[in-house]
Structure 1
Amino acid sequence: MHLPRMIWLSLFLAMSHVPLASAMNLARGQQLYNLHCAACHGARGEGVMPEAPKFRLGERLEQPDMSLLQSVKTGKKSMPPFFGILQDAQILDVLAYVRTLR
């Protein structure tokens, strides 16, 4: 009888850290976005450069994260590559933040 209770307690404690981690990743994503992306994509994703997607309108966000990750790493049109500047986890944090701009 104590074993099921311990399992549920363990699951609860493990799951209680998920929102905190997600919030931390979004905060890190926002900081990185403001530092590396906002000059062209706009502070709120409105796209200030002519070729920059308007994330606020959902432009390009229909693509899966792994596809967008590659685009960020290799660059696209007038966007410089971020390979060697941002790690994959950092880029994914930025993408998670960008998806909240819609």
Structure 2
Amino acid sequence: MEKAEIGIVRVDHEVLLKTGEEAWQQLKTCYDALERIQTSVEASGSFWIGKAGDLYREVLKNQIESVKAALEEMAQYPKELLAYAGLYSETMSQSNSLAESIISLQLF
């Protein structure tokens, strides 16, 4: 049986935070655009009257709901990145405090 190699994982909480915030902003931009599209589609009921308009609006409504569900699913990833960034930041802070307290000990 082979011995597993042990590696080092380096995490930069600032990169996690920045990436999470950027992804969150992009998702919000997409969601806002989708809301504007939905408003325009609904407004078409005042000038596009009849079965074709109703069918068009119904199809787009279903597609918009599918896209919103996908965006909500994707929104979980930035949330996780932001949570990890907080976790790593807190862990690093605690580690640094512990290291400083050990350095300040005068054993001899």
| Structure of higher CA gyration radius | 2
Bigger helix fraction: 2
The alignment's TM-score, normalised by the length of structure 2, stands at 0.33
The alignment's TM-score, normalised by the length of structure 1, stands at 0.34
